[in-house]
Chain A
């Protein structure tokens, strides 16, 4: 499979990349690792006039922790995130997500910013960012915008980024005491897209009840979504298997799966419930261990 023709540029700075995006608005696409974009080009589902390769732009792949956030540069690869000492020490949930994407070659090159901007309805990061209440930072010619994950994923392959903006950073609230996360994915085989993926990030109060909760679901609707009805059931309640099951049922009801080779609608709904329960168990175990 051969992509349609396009031009290629490798700007040396973010400003230059943004300038090109403005000059060629509607024609230009950004290229990072390429593991989402190039398959799309080969299938000719996308035919951009020009590719703007970000590999020479410095400062886009740092991973740091501030007083407020874990900040992951957009061009950090899944593997860099997975092997990062801060992530390994404090964010096992993020480590799980990054280590389960694709296969080793994909993780060597694929980037978090690329995945998030691509917004495949079955990709892993969106569920995690929805559950973790992350913020997505984009930059255009007039400066930076910070967009909440819950305002970011609009539809299939469609996000709140403007065609003239570059996604520069993902910010995940710094882990507080009593916070834990889990991600459970059902896949037909290693490396496949998620049939269903559910991320749960919970915060336990001192009395052991849920003070906060985020549930992100992927693979079972036109766009990854936050299971808000399930979240409302959980806040203020004490963790229990019954509660997890109720939340799972609510998340399943809010999902809108399509029947395909990965299974019929009822099966996928049942798996949303099951993955939700599993992620709750992991999240609560980790939240209790981080008191």
Chain B
């Protein structure tokens, strides 16, 4: 057991600190130290993208980054996407288009899609498929995932149609943890 490092990260807008072993992976920091279990561990080999989060605005596979590498960084996870009870347009679009089957890949898909739409607000289908090529859906539900991203792209780029509120429907879905309540 080596000495721990003290790190400070901003997660979904909130500054958080932890004493960690240098070998701790970012995904474990998020899930175990901070209780943000919306970020999933799938393959654990940087293939599947289920652990995708944003680090300083860029999408990253958090199973392939050390927590100490993220010291000082801004991190955004799936828990930071909704605005209170109002789903992010991508979350709503995955709901509307049935862009999930088992739901395991969904947090990573949504975070990667959010990064894609930041880089390219109006992607065509081919660009969407290339953009999520680092994210695997083991249910193979790609058709509806692509439709969901297309729906969200339209809504996000259409100047600002107010985000759809779906307060009664969040329970038990991918929007799992409230960061303020997480331990």
Which A residues are closer than 8 A to B by beta carbons? Answer: 1-8, 10, 31, 34-35, 38-39, 41-42, 51, 53, 55, 102-106, 108-109, 190-191
Contact = CB atoms under 8 A, between A and B. Distances in A.
A39 B134 contact: no
Chain B, interface residues (CB within 8 Å), range: 20 to 34
B23 A2 contact: yes
Interface of B: 1-3, 5, 21-23, 25, 44-47, 49, 52, 58-61, 64-66, 68-69, 71, 112, 115-116, 130-131, 133-135
Contacts of A39: 45-46, 64
B66 A38 contact: yes
A6 B22 contact: yes
Contacts of B112: 104-105
In the A-B complex, the 9 residue pairs with the closest CB atoms: A103-B134, A8-B22, A5-B2, A3-B23, A190-B133, A108-B58, A105-B134, A8-B68, A38-B64
Contacts of B5: 8
Contacts of A7: 2-3, 22
Given A31-B69, A104-B112, A108-B58, A191 B133 contact: yes
Contact of A42 (B44, B130, B133): B44
A38 B51 CA distance: 15
A106 B134 contact: yes
A38 B3 contact: no
Contact of A191 (B2, B47, B64): B47
A53 B116 CA distance: 27
A2 B60 CA distance: 18
Given A42-B45, A108-B59, 5 more contacts: A10-B68, A38-B66, A103-B133, A104-B133, A109-B64
